[in-house]
Amino acid sequence: MGLVVGEGSFTADRRQPFLQVKLHVRDPFPLRHLADRLGGRVYGPYRDRTRHYYTWLLRGPALKAAVPIFRTYLPESWKREQFERWLVQHSDFFALDRGAAAPPESFSDTER
């Protein structure tokens, strides 16, 4: 959680909210660890003036699935306040989908 508190950004584009973490190209392994644990994808390397970095983005269903983890483990901090405001700002995205298909785990073996 420290990586998210220190380097994370709860943000959005015109289409959807996402969590972004950027790290210097010398140290992409924590981003790959996040991708392995929470989903999302590592992009890069990028070069922007003097900065050379990779970025990890968590969005879509993987982001929705990770929200309870952040609610539980994100410590009291300015990042926690940003997270709470971000959830409110994008509440339509995080609302439960009505009429959505049940996850595969709920299907019996005969229905698969």
Residue 31 lies in a domain: yes
Residue 10 lies in a domain: yes
Reported as a pLDDT band with limits 50, 70 and 90, residue 1 is confident
Nearest CA among 33, 97, 42, 89 for reference residue 65: 97
- Residue 21's domain is classified under what CATH number? 3.10.28.10
- Strand residues in 13-107 grouped as ranges (E): 17-24, 41-48, 51-59
Residue 104 lies in a domain: no
Residue 26 lies in a domain: yes
Domain around 77: 2-96
Reported as a pLDDT band with limits 50, 70 and 90, residue 96 is low
Stronger pLDDT, 8 or 101, i.e. the higher one: 8
Given a cut of 70, whether residue 105 has pLDDT beyond it is: no
Q: How far apart are CA 92 and CA 17, in angstroms?
A: 10
Query: Coil, strand, or helix at residue 79?
Result: helix
Residue 13 lies in a domain: yes
Residue 12 lies in a domain: yes
Mean pLDDT, the chain, integer: 86
Q: Can you tell me the mean pLDDT for 74-84?
A: 95
Structural domain count of the chain: 1
Residue-level pLDDT at 49: 87
Residue-level pLDDT at 97: 53
pLDDT digits (tens, 9 = 90+) for 11-48: 999 889 999 999 999 999 999 999 999 999 999 999 98
